[in-house]
Structures are given as structure tokens and as C-alpha cells.
């Protein structure tokens, strides 16, 4: 039993806070049931279920902090974990940047829970694998994929009377389909709160089509091209950039948002005026918990407004140093766009490259957020609004800052989760000018 | 692929409460030095083995793991966080009706592990109904009751936290005094206490230690708004705290005076060098793109070997089991059959899980196979892959290579990379001698940015320090350098390798693979090597 009710969670957290003899006490109780199934070579390879529940207690004596965790919840165990955290705090060096526990917050509940997702069974997971494999096996195609789903709860409390409790669900499905001669590869990904939005049998058709269509790839010279990035292709670059919105880094002079001579670029025009990105825990399409890891209440917060830097991330310590308001760390990124689909953008492209997905994105130069990575699983040449033929994959060296100054058009945002991103995202497909491909890859 | 787990860890410095789940629970420092009694572990293992047999399993292995980690994180004159974690439990894997099943429990009682064995057997029987072909397990001898321990001289977990904090803060102060604008230094220590038992008759008790002391020094020119970093030149190692003794015999000084390190690291010395070099980088001229002969120091080459030899020669990738995530491999089975030329004939690449000081060194892998050394590329020709017991038959082998690893008692063990290294040159050759012959080259020290495609053909690498070589002489530092390669062409361009006196290890502490993801630690050794005519790009951009 790893999903506690609000009353059960509160009873445990109240006891913990009451047991602490430290100056301050903060506790987080969280638990999840998650299940997964993995398939490859048109066969199920592994499947598993993981239950986990854990109580983390952090206490402070002055500026000395100690943290301990436990996964038992009787009175003796609660006493033990609190004393252990206190012992660690007494031994810890003083943290000169210590910040006191947060004051009581007001959390507006967000719709992160869905009953259908919470009720996923091993049979459902097996069916997803079967639905993904079934159309591939007789068609000379090879499917490999992964479904991971979870239901979870998080409860937080501290000695200043703060308390929050919320349940969440999530499901993430990805499938790669390759032609059995290894010459074509396609991919599809779906990230949902409500599993009713997932239909592996329908979704895998996208990967199948791309696998077949990408098989006769021709080489194009590397260089600057107009590109249509599908939302998944754009998400990896944009979410990478958002890790560098920390105000302290910028004020210290080591960020693309640092200003020559000191200070940061808050309020400055950095992107095309059509770029609008905000965080909103209550976004109906990509809801996240209404508090961050520290328990700070998340609110709707513009990050980029009409291309200007509207907000940067001020930690509580740095906000105090700079006389500014601290903000909660966003859990999602919502980017505005238009009404057109990827297909609409392709139809209106005279000449360009359609990119399904970007991969292995890494920082090359933090001064300009120059990123490198590769296209993967479906890269196509567009001419006069038509997809003419598949092209070999490219390596790109491009900065999302430059890319978001070269916008031709933005389409309708869809929900995506990046391979390595911790954000829930709504990202539009986008047509961009002068995207920089620096070499060809033989990889399929 | 190296995932950005390090970013998640960076968050520990600020948040505190949100430990990544794979770290387990936070504990007191003194608990890091205790061990579980081996007789209790054998009793638990026997309970699981017996329960699995009774439930109908034809094979069973039990892993009783206690995973201890300590992280000390600092910046300038501040300790950001000290984290001690422990994760203890038992993973039981069985074959029943020809299929794998796995279950894990954190209960350390005979009843809990027997129940896990029964659950694993039930899962195996369920999986057998949908499985096309039964698992074929390469034979592995039972070793009876044996043990293995990383040959450390000083257990890092026994060193007081205060000593570690003092060392890091001294290094930070040294860098700051030498002109650094900012400095972050961290100490990671890992102890895996692993007990393995199987129905083949092995009871293997292992005590594995690893250590890593990464550092980032930043220099800023406020007037121009330019900033540059220089990462520490240490390597994560399978060593104890003695790695931080700064033993002078383990220093490798380049012809232009850059100090690199072997099996011992001088953090304070490197902190001062990093501060000076970070400032030098601010003023270094930008590289002219084009073809250059690259002279790569082992502190750099390890990552290239990792990405374009280690990963593509993992047999599960070659077969397609990782197709949906990390990808497949260009080095397909037919290439081994046809004697595919992976590189120049001087290129010999080998796997070795016994190398002293390496991250991957263990006595036995996580399915009880004794570890060894074997060739992957011999005289430039692809000759072998890295396998585990249920893959060996696919490539006609009668035994596993011992490449099985799980990052936790609760994770299923699977094929992970062995230490894969470039053999030193057979002729006497020093880096200074090598550089004398280079007309138009770049000398690269330290690892930097890295990215490679899903079949391991096209890669791009940066570095920490770049020096221009003109007519046999190192002339000046360069900036904005990255090189792009196609794997077989890159290794074909390898024209010289220094001798074994220059051989050193580099490595990855957090190499990610699989769904759900698991991390592992692996080393890669080489001597300084030369690669002719490699494409170098300029990475400088302007944001206007």
C-alpha cells in the first residue's frame, strides 16, 4: 500500500513535526505505484512493478541542516527518523546561505490525477505491447518500445503550519519501428495524464509510416536550411535552454542571460516577439503539482513575453540578496503558437527539411547556449509543400536563442515530454529559417 | 550514452529533500562503514534459492545489495550539502519454463526473500506464455564461497567529513586566490557491498569502492561579458581515499607544462592550474575551422572510446534490444563475420574488467561470472563484442564475458559496458616525440561536450584545453574547438599511439542505459594518440 489518503498522510506528518525538537522541521511524504513494460525485436523483453513510499525529514538548528529518510511509519520509526535528522544537523557544517522554512502557502489544486490511468493493469500494459507489435510483425517491420505508468501522492508539511497533499498519474509511451533491413526508422511518443488519450494501435501507425517513408534516404549537403521541427524535435532544444534561466548564474556573469558589465537581461528583448513561454501548474493540457521541491506555491508565471525576458528564477536566497521576490521552480513549460498542424506547416514550405525528432542534445558553449545533437527517426526533404524524399540524418550545431529569432511560423502546441527533460511541455511545431546542420550521419 | 544524471544531483545542493530515488535513503555518516554479516547473507540467499527451486524454477540467482553513497558539495567558501545514502535489499531472478522473472524486496528476512523468489517464478511462468524462444544460458561454473574487494588502501567512508570539507574548501580557496571568479568542487564516494548466490553453486561476497572529485572553475571578464570554465583533470576511479594523496609519481606533465594525473590526484595543484587556464581561455584566439591532426591526451580520449567503441560493441545494442532508447549499432554481426576494419592496424581495443583502479573492476559480475580481459578490435579488425550469459550463444560463444550489472538490488541486471581501452603503442613513443612530427595540429586535453548518433557513426567532441601545434611545436592556446568524426574513419586515421608509460584511465561515474534507466561506472584507458586529418569546427556564435 503505497498511496496514502490525505488524512493518513497528514496524521504522519503532524506527528513528525510535533516530534522534532529542532528550530525548524520540514517533511515530505511521497509514494507511488509504477508499472512498465518493455518490448524489442517484436517481443516483450521485460516488465515490472515498483512500489515505493518514503518519508524525508529535514530539520535545522540555526544554519545547520540535517536530512533523513525512512520507509516505515509506526511511532517508533517516526521518532527514529526525526532523531537521525537532528543528529545529522548537529554534525553538519553551517550553511551561510541557509534559508528558513517557507511560510504557510496557499495551494490551488491542479488536475494531475486521472482514475483511468491509476487503474492501469499488467494486462493493459501487455495489450499496449501487443498492439504495437501486431501491425509490425507481418509487415517486415521491427518494433521496440516502452510504456511506463504511475499513480502517486505527495504530501508536505513544516513547523510553520504549511501543508499540502495531492495525487497524480502519468503515462508515457514511446515506440520505435524499424524496417527489418535496417534502412528505415520511425518513432512515436505520447505523454498523457489521462490514458484514454493513448491508443497504441493508432499511434504506432505514425512510427510505421515514418519507418517505411524514411527507407530510401538521400544525402543533402550540410548547411543552413529552413526546417519544420515537429514539437518533439523542438522540445529538446527549448527545454535545455530553460535550465539556464537562473538569476544568480546570470548575475554572476556566467549565463547567456548575463549582461555585459554586470546584471542580467530581465526585461530585455532576447527572442522574436512571437515567442511566449510561461509556466502554469493549472494548465489543462500539462498540469503539474501546485508546489515545487521546496514547497513554494507555483503560480502562472510568464517566462518569455513577446520575446522579452519576463521572469528569471530567483531562489529564495538570491531573491533576498537582490531584494526581489523569490519564485517557485516551474514544473511545466507552455509555449504559445498558432492553429496549424505540422502537416499545414509542411504544405506551406517552399523548400526545407522536416525533422521528426532530435537526439543526444548536449551543450557546446553555455555563453550562447550552442547545442549539438542529431536528427533521428524520420528526416525528410520538403519541396513546394510536398515531402519529396527522406534525407540522411544530420548533426546540428544551433542555439535555441538564435533559432527562436529565426521563426517563420509557429503551429498549434501539443503536449510532449523530452527524452531527458523534467518539464511537462506544450510545444508548437515550428518553421524556422537558417537552422544550422554541420555534418551528415549514416545512422538510421 | 551519458545521461544528465549529474544535473539531477546538482539539485541536491539546493533542494535537500528531493533525493533521486536510485540513491536510496539518507543515513548518518558512521553507518557508512558497517557491513552485513556474510553468514546472514548466505542464509538469506539459501532461503531464496530453495523457494525458487520449490516453485519450479530451473535457475535462480539472488543479489543481496547494500549500496552506500556519500556526496560532499561545495562552492567557493561554502559547503552546499553533505548527503549520505543507503539502499539495502534483495533482488531475485529466476528462469522458469524457459523465461526470466524478477522480483525484489527490501525485507531482509527468510520469509521476505522466499516470497520474492516465488513472485519472480510466477512472473517467469507468465512471461513464458508469450515468449517465442526459451532463454539459453551459457554455462558458468559455481565458485563456492569466495570474496573479492577493490584493492583500496584507505576506505573513503572512514575519512571524517571534516577532512573532506577542509580539502575541498582549500582547493576552492587556492583557485580563488589564483584568480578564479567561481569554483565548485564535489566529492562522490560509492561503496557497493554485493552478495551473489546462484543455483550454479556460487556464493560471492564483494566489496566495491569508487571515488570521484570533480571540480569546475569559472573565469569571467566582466567588461566583455565573456565567461569560460575549466573542469578538473581528475578521473573517477575504482580506488579509495588514497586517490587524493597527490602522489608525484602519478603526474604526467605535457610538453607545454599541463599536469595530468594517473592513479593519484593533486586537487589543490589542479585547482590553481584550472584558475590560470580558465583566465587564459578568455583571451585565447578562436580556432580556424578545417582539417587538423589531433593529438589526444588520455584525459580526453576515454570519452571518445566510450562513445564510439564501448557502446557500439555492446551485443544487446547490436541485436536491437536498445532500439527504442539508446539505439542500435553500426557494428552489426555480419561485420564481425567479414572481418570489418574498425581502424588502422595499430589500433587494438580491448575489454577488461580486472584493470586495477578502474571503475568497472570486480571479481565477478552480477550473474556470478568471473571477470576477464578480451580483445574487441585486434590489429584494426573487429573481432568480438561484450556479452552476458543469455547472449553468448548468439555469437557462438560458450561462456559469458562477464558484463552483467545492476545499479541496485531492485533493478534487473543486464548487459553493461566493460572497461574498454585502447592498447598502448608497442614502440617507445612519448607525447613530446609525437608532437615533433605534427605540422598542423591541435593538442586536446580533458573531456568536454559530447554527442553521438543512435548507431554510433557520427560524433562530436569538445575538450577542456586546446593547443595549436605548428611545425612540431606547441604554439598557443585555442578556443571554440570541437571535432566531428565518423567512427571507422576516425580510427582509421589513428597514426600513432604513445607507449605504455603514458597509459592512463579516464571514466564515467554515471553512464546511463536502459528503460527504466540504470547508471553504471566504467573506465577507459589509453596513451596519448594521434589522429590525422580530423574535421574541426568553430563553435563560437554571437547572440547579437
Q: What CATH number does residue A155 fall under?
A: 3.30.2290.10
Q: Which of B310, B309, B315 is nearest to B333 (CA)?
A: B315
Please report how many Cα atoms fall inside a 13 Å half-sphere around the Cα of residue A57, on the Cβ side: 35
| Section A126-149 average pLDDT | 95
| Section A158-172 average pLDDT | 97
A336 to chain B, closest Cα gap in Å: 23
- Which DSSP state fits B509? E
* B449–A372 CB contact, under 8 Å: yes
Residue A82 lies in a domain: yes
Distance (Å, whole) CA B242 – CA B264 = 7
Residues of A in contact with B130 (CB under 8 A): 43-44, 126
Residue A1 lies in a domain: no
Chain B contact for A28 (CB, 8 A cutoff): yes
| Closest by Cβ to B131, choosing from A28, A43, A176 | A43
Do residues A342 and A424 both lie within one domain? yes
**Which of these three, B244, B268, B283, is where a domain ends?**
B283
Do residues A208 and A224 both lie within one domain? no
Distance (Å, whole) CA A171 – CA A82 = 34
Do residues A197 and A244 both lie within one domain? no
CATH of the domain at B223: 3.30.2290.10
Distance (Å, whole) CA A247 – CA A316 = 11
How would you label A388-409 residue by residue, b for 16+ Cβ within 10 Å and e otherwise? eebbbbbbbbbbbbbbbbbbbb
Do residues A184 and A272 both lie within one domain? no
How many domains would you assign to chain A? 2
For B109, the 3-state DSSP assignment is: coil
pLDDT for the residue numbered B516: 87
Distance (Å, whole) CA B188 – CA B70 = 6
Do residues A25 and A76 both lie within one domain? yes
Phi-psi region of B248 (alpha: psi -120 to 50; beta: other; left: phi over 0): alpha
Q: Does A303 score more than 60 pLDDT?
A: yes
| Closest by Cβ to A374, choosing from B1, B226, B458 | B458
Calculate the average pLDDT of chain B: 92
Residues of B in contact with A370 (CB under 8 A): 539, 541
Phi-psi region of B225 (alpha: psi -120 to 50; beta: other; left: phi over 0): left
Do residues B212 and B323 both lie within one domain? no
pLDDT for the residue numbered A67: 86
Distance (Å, whole) CA A287 – CA B21 = 22
Do residues A200 and A302 both lie within one domain? no
For B133, nearest residue in chain A (alpha carbons): A43
Distance (Å, whole) CA B234 – CA B464 = 12
Residue B129 lies in a domain: yes
Q: Which of A200, A317, A367 to mutate to test the interface with B (most CBs of B within 10 A)?
A: A367
**Which of these three, A188, A212, A236, is where a domain ends?**
A212
| Section A346-352 average pLDDT | 98
Chain A contact for B129 (CB, 8 A cutoff): no
Chain A contact for B17 (CB, 8 A cutoff): yes
Do residues A38 and A169 both lie within one domain? yes
Do residues B181 and B65 both lie within one domain? yes
Residues of A in contact with B537 (CB under 8 A): 397, 438
Residues of B in contact with A393 (CB under 8 A): 453, 458
- Which DSSP state fits A201? H
Task: Name the percent of chain A in helix, strand, coil, to the closest 5.
Answer: 25, 40, 35
The complex scores an ipTM of 0.94
**Which of these three, A212, A238, A260, is where a domain ends?**
A212
Please give the residue range of the domain that contains residue B508: 290-538
Do residues B238 and B299 both lie within one domain? no
More confidently predicted of A254 and B4: A254
Chain B contact for A175 (CB, 8 A cutoff): yes
Do residues B279 and B310 both lie within one domain? no
Do residues B199 and B252 both lie within one domain? yes
Residues of A in contact with B5 (CB under 8 A): none
Residue B277 lies in a domain: yes
Task: Output the CA–CA distances (angstroms, integers) from residue B470 to B71, B135, B434, B539, in the order listed.
Answer: 43, 58, 13, 21
Is-contact B120 B93, C-beta < 8 A?
A: yes
Residue A80 lies in a domain: yes
Do residues A140 and A121 both lie within one domain? yes
pLDDT for the residue numbered B7: 30
Banded pLDDT at B30 (limits 50, 70, 90): low
Do residues A43 and A111 both lie within one domain? yes
Chain A contact for B134 (CB, 8 A cutoff): no
Q: Which of B460, B462, B486 to mutate to test the interface with A (most CBs of A within 10 A)?
A: B460
Grid cell 536510485 — which residue?
B22
Distance (Å, whole) CA B1 – CA B454 = 9
* B450–A362 CB contact, under 8 Å: yes
pLDDT for the residue numbered B33: 56
Question: What's the CA angle centered on B269, arms B268 and B271, to 5 degrees?
Answer: 65
Is-contact B520 A381, C-beta < 8 A?
A: no
Is-contact B506 B422, C-beta < 8 A?
A: no
| Closest by Cβ to A373, choosing from B4, B327, B451 | B451
| Section A185-203 average pLDDT | 94
Distance (Å, whole) CA B500 – CA B506 = 15
| Closest by Cβ to B182, choosing from A65, A71, A254 | A254
pLDDT for the residue numbered B97: 95
Asked which of A250-254, B37-41, B206-210 is least confident by mean pLDDT, the reply is B37-41
**Which of these three, B258, B283, B308, is where a domain ends?**
B283
Banded pLDDT at B479 (limits 50, 70, 90): very high
Residue B471 lies in a domain: yes
| Closest by Cβ to A44, choosing from B1, B127, B182 | B127
Distance (Å, whole) CA B228 – CA A318 = 22
Distance (Å, whole) CA B315 – CA B333 = 9
Distance (Å, whole) CA B469 – CA A330 = 47
Do residues A315 and A188 both lie within one domain? no
Is-contact B409 B89, C-beta < 8 A?
A: yes
H helix or E strand, kind and range, residue B457: none
Q: Which of A78, A76, A68 is nearest to A9 (CA)?
A: A78
Please give the residue range of the domain that contains residue A165: 6-212
pLDDT for the residue numbered B4: 34
Q: Which of A192, A170, A10, A26 is nearest to A99 (CA)?
A: A26
Q: Collect all residues with Cβ–Cβ distance below 8 Å to B517 and sequence separation of at least 6.
A: B3
Residue A178 lies in a domain: yes
Q: Which of B323, B328, B464, B486 to mutate to test the interface with A (most CBs of A within 10 A)?
A: B323
| Closest by Cβ to A363, choosing from B123, B319, B449 | B449
pLDDT for the residue numbered B132: 77
Chain B contact for A393 (CB, 8 A cutoff): yes
Distance (Å, whole) CA A309 – CA A256 = 12
Chain A contact for B1 (CB, 8 A cutoff): yes
Percent share of chain A, pLDDT over 90: 86
B54 to chain A, closest Cα gap in Å: 23
Do residues B268 and B308 both lie within one domain? no
Banded pLDDT at A364 (limits 50, 70, 90): very high
B39 class by beta-carbon count within 10 Å (0-12 exposed, 13-18 middle, 19+ buried) = exposed
Using a cut of 0.90, tell me whether the model's pTM lies above it.
Answer: yes
- If you count DSSP H runs as helices and E runs as strands, how many of each does chain A have, helices first? 10, 19
Quick: pLDDT tens for B80-126.
888 877 788 899 999 999 989 888 888 889 999 999 999 899 988 88
The C-alpha R_g of chain B, in whole angstroms, comes to: 24
| Closest by Cβ to B452, choosing from A126, A146, A360 | A360
Number of A:B CB contacts under 8 A?
A: 220
Residue B10 lies in a domain: yes
Phi-psi region of A50 (alpha: psi -120 to 50; beta: other; left: phi over 0): beta
Do residues A75 and A178 both lie within one domain? yes
**Which of these three, B283, B302, B332, is where a domain ends?**
B283
Distance (Å, whole) CA A70 – CA A85 = 11
Chain B contact for A362 (CB, 8 A cutoff): yes
B429 to chain A, closest Cα gap in Å: 33
How many domains would you assign to chain B? 2
Do residues B425 and B529 both lie within one domain? yes
Q: Does A1 score more than 90 pLDDT?
A: no
Banded pLDDT at B2 (limits 50, 70, 90): very low
pLDDT for the residue numbered A298: 97
Chain B contact for A70 (CB, 8 A cutoff): yes
| Closest by Cβ to A148, choosing from B100, B223, B516 | B516
Do residues B279 and B308 both lie within one domain? no
Do residues B274 and B312 both lie within one domain? no
Residues 223-262 of B with CB under 8 A from A: 223-227, 229
A331 to chain B, closest Cα gap in Å: 14
Grid cell at residue B107: 525485507
Distance (Å, whole) CA B282 – CA B225 = 10
Quick: pLDDT tens for B424-470.
999 999 999 999 999 999 999 999 999 999 999 999 999 999 999 99
Do residues B318 and B267 both lie within one domain? no
Could you tell me where the beta strands, DSSP code E, fall in B273-399? 290-296, 349-352, 373-378, 381-382
* A368–B543 CB contact, under 8 Å: yes
Chain B contact for A151 (CB, 8 A cutoff): no
Residues of A in contact with B131 (CB under 8 A): 43-44
Do residues B348 and B255 both lie within one domain? no
pLDDT for the residue numbered B6: 32
Do residues B186 and B203 both lie within one domain? yes
Do residues A225 and A178 both lie within one domain? no
Calculate the average pLDDT of chain A: 95
Q: Collect all residues with Cβ–Cβ distance below 8 Å to A57 and sequence separation of at least 6.
A: A16, A20, A25, A26, A27, A67, A68, A69, A70, A81, A82, A85
**Which of these three, A150, A184, A212, is where a domain ends?**
A212
More confidently predicted of A73 and B359: B359
* B324–A144 CB contact, under 8 Å: yes
Chain B contact for A365 (CB, 8 A cutoff): yes
Distance (Å, whole) CA A67 – CA A42 = 45
Residue A74 lies in a domain: yes
B369 to chain A, closest Cα gap in Å: 22
Chain B contact for A126 (CB, 8 A cutoff): yes
Quick: pLDDT tens for B268-318.
999 999 999 999 999 999 999 999 999 999 999 999 999 999 999 999 999
- If you count DSSP H runs as helices and E runs as strands, how many of each does chain B have, helices first? 10, 28
| Section A372-398 average pLDDT | 98
Residue A197 lies in a domain: yes
pLDDT for the residue numbered A226: 98
How would you label A201-223 residue by residue, b for 16+ Cβ within 10 Å and e otherwise? eebbebbbebbbbbbebeebebe
Percent share of chain B, pLDDT over 90: 83
Chain A contact for B328 (CB, 8 A cutoff): yes
Does residue B137 have a cis peptide bond before it, meaning omega lies within 30 degrees of 0? no
Amino acid at each position: 500500500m503505497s498511496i496514502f489518503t490525505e488524512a493518513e498522510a497528514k496524521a504522519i506528518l503532524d506527528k513528525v513535526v510535533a516530534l522534532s525538537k529542532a528550530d525548524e522541521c520540514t517533511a515530505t511524504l511521497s509514494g507511488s505505484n509504477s508499472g512498465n513494460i518493455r518490448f524489442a525485436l517484436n517481443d516483450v523483453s521485460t516488465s515490472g512493478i515498483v512500489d515505493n513510499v518514503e518519508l524525508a525529514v529535514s530539520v535545522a538548528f540555526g544554519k545547520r541542516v540535517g536530512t533523513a529518510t525512512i520507509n516505515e511509519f509506526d511511532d517508533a520509526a517516526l521518532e527514529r527518523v526525526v532523531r537521525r535528522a537532528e543528529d545529522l544537523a548537529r554534525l553538519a557544517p553551517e550553511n551561510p546561505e541557509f534559508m528558513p522554512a517557507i511560510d504557510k502557502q496557499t495551494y490551488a489544486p491542479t488536475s494531475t490525477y486521472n482514475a483511468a490511468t491509476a487503474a492501469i493493469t499488467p494486462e493493459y500494459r501487455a495489450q499496449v505491447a501487443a498492439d504495437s507489435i501486431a501491425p509490425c510483425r507481418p509487415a517486415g517491420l521491427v518494433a521496440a518500445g516502452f510504456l511506463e505508468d504511475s499513480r502517486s501522492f505527495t504530501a508536505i508539511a513544516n513547523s510553520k503550519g504549511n501543508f499540502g497533499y495531492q495525487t497524480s498519474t502519468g503515462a508515457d509511451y514511446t515506440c520505435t519501428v524499424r524496417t527489418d533491413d535496417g534502412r528505415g526508422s520511425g518513432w512515436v511518443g505520447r505523454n498523457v495524464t489521462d490514458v484514454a488519450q493513448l491508443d497504441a494501435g493508432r499511434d504506432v501507425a505514425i512510427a510505421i509510416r515514418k519507418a517505411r517513408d524514411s527507407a530510401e534516404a538521400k544525402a543533402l549537403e550540410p548547411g543552413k536550411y529552413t526546417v519544420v521541427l515537429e514539437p518533439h524535435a523542438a522540445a529538446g532544444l527549448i527545454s535545455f535552454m530553460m535550465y539556464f534561466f537562473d538569476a544568480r548564474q546570470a548575475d554572476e556573469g556566467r549565463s547567456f542571460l548575463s549582461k555585459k558589465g554586470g546584471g542580467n537581461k530581465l526585461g530585455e528583448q532576447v527572442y522574436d516577439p512571437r515567442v511566449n513561454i510561461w509556466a502554469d501548474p493549472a494548465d489543462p493540457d500539462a498540469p503539474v503539482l501546485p508546489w515545487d521541491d521546496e514547497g513554494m506555491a507555483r503560480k502562472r508565471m510568464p517566462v518569455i513575453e513577446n520575446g522579452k525576458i519576463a521572469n528569471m528564477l530567483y531562489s529564495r536566497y538570491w531573491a533576498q540578496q537582490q531584494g526581489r521576490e523569490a519564485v517557485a521552480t516551474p514544473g511545466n513549460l507552455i509555449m504559445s503558437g498558432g492553429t496549424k498542424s505540422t502537416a499545414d506547416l509542411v504544405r506551406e514550405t517552399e523548400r526545407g527539411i522536416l525533422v521528426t525528432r532530435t537526439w543526444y542534445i548536449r551543450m557546446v558553449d553555455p555563453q550562447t547556449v550552442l547545442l549539438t545533437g542529431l536528427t533521428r527517426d524520420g528526416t525528410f526533404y520538403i519541396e513546394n509543400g510536398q515531402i519529396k524524399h527522406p534525407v540522411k540524418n544530420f548533426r546540428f550545431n544551433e542555439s535555441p536563442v538564435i533559432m527562436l529569432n529565426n521563426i517563420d511560423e509557429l503551429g498549434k502546441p501539443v503536449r510532449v515530454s523530452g527524452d531527458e527533460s523534467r518539464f511537462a511541455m506544450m510545444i508548437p511545431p515550428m518553421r524556422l529559417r537558417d537552422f544550422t546542420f554541420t555534418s551528415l550521419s549514416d545512422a538510421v | 550514452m551519458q545521461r544528465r544524471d549529474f544535473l539531477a544531483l546538482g539539485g541536491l545542493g539546493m533542494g535537500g529533500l528531493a533525493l533521486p530515488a536510485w540513491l536510496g535513503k539518507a543515513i548518518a555518516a558512521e553507518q557508512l562503514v558497517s557491513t552485513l554479516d556474510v553468514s546472514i547473507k548466505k542464509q538469506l540467499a539459501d532461503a531464496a534459492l530453495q523457494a525458487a527451486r520449490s516453485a519450479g524454477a530451473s535457475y535462480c540467482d539472488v543479489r543481496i545489495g547494500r549500496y552506500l553513497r556519500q556526496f560532499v558539495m561545495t562552492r567557493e567558501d561554502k559547503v552546499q550539502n553533505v548527503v549520505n545514502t543507503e539502499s539495502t535489499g534483495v533482488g531475485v531472478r529466476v528462469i522458469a519454463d524457459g523465461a526470466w522473472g524478477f522480483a525484489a524486496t527490501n525485507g531482509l528476512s527468510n520469509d521476505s526473500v522466499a516470497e520474492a523468489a516465488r513472485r519472480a517464478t510466477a512472473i517467469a511462468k507468465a512471461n513464458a506464455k508469450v515468449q517465442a524462444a526459451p532463454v539459453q544460458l551459457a554455462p558458468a561454473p559455481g565458485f563456492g564461497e569466495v570474496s573479492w574487494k577493490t584493492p583500496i588502501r584507505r576506505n573513503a567512508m572512514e575519512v571524517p567529513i571534516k577532512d573532506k570539507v577542509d580539502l575541498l574548501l582549500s582547493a576552492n580557496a587556492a583557485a580563488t586566490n589564483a584568480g578564479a571568479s567561481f569554483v565548485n568542487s564535489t566529492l562522490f564516494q560509492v561503496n557497493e557491498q554485493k552478495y551473489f548466490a546462484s543455483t550454479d553453486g556460487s556464493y560471492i561476497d564483494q566489496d566495491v569502492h569508487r571515488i570521484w572529485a570533480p571540480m569546475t572553475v569559472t573565469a569571467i571578464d566582466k567588461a566583455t561579458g565573456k565567461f569560460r570554465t575549466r573542469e578538473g583533470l581528475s578521473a573517477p576511479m575504482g580506488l579509495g581515499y588514497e586517490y587524493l594523496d597527490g602522489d608525484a609519481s602519478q603526474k604526467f606533465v605535457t610538453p607545454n607544462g599541463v599536469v595530468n594525473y594517473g592513479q593519484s590526484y593533486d586537487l589543490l595543484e589542479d585547482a590553481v592550474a584550472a584558475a590560470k587556464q580558465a583566465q587564459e581561455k578568455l583571451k585565447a584566439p578562436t580556432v580556424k575551422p578545417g582539417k587538423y591532426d589531433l593529438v589526444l591526451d588520455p584525459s580526453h580520449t576515454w570519452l571518445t572510446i566510450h562513445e564510439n567503441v564501448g557502446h557500439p560493441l555492446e551485443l544487446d545494442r547490436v541485436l536491437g534490444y536498445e532500439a527504442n532508447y539508446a539505439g542500435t549499432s553500426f557494428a552489426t554481426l555480419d561485420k564481425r563475420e567479414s572481418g570489418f576494419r574498425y581502424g588502422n592496424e595499430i589500433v587494438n581495443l580491448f575489454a577488461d574488467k580486472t584493470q586495477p583502479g578502474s571503475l568497472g573492476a570486480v571479481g565477478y559480475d552480477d550473474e556470478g561470472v568471473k571477470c576477464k580481459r578480451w580483445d574487441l578490435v585486434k590489429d584494426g579488425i573487429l573481432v568480438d563484442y561484450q556479452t552476458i550469459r543469455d547472449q553468448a550463444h548468439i555469437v557462438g560463444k560458450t561462456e559469458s564475458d562477464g558484463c552483467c550489472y545492476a545499479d541496485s538490488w531492485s533493478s534487473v541486471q543486464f548487459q553493461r559496458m566493460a572497461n574498454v581501452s585502447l592498447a598502448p603503442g608497442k614502440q617507445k613513443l612519448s607525447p613530446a616525440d609525437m608532437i615533433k612530427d605534427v605540422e598542423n595540429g591541435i593538442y586536446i586535453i580533458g573531456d568536454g561536450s559530447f554527442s553521438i548518433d543512435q548507431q554510433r557513426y557520427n560524433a562530436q567532441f569538445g575538450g577542456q584545453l586546446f593547443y595549436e601545434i605548428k611545425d612540431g611545436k606547441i604554439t598557443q592556446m585555442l578556443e571554440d574547438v570541437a571535432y566531428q568524426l565518423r567512427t571507422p574513419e576516425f580510427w582509421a586515421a589513428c597514426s600513432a599511439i604513445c607507449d605504455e608509460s603514458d597509459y592512463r584511465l579516464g571514466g564515467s561515474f554515471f553512464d546511463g542505459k536502459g528503460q527504466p534507466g540504470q547508471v553504471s561506472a566504467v573506465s577507459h584507458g589509453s596513451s596519448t594518440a594521434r589522429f590525422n586529418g580530423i574535421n574541426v569546427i568553430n563553435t563560437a556564435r554571437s547572440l547579437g
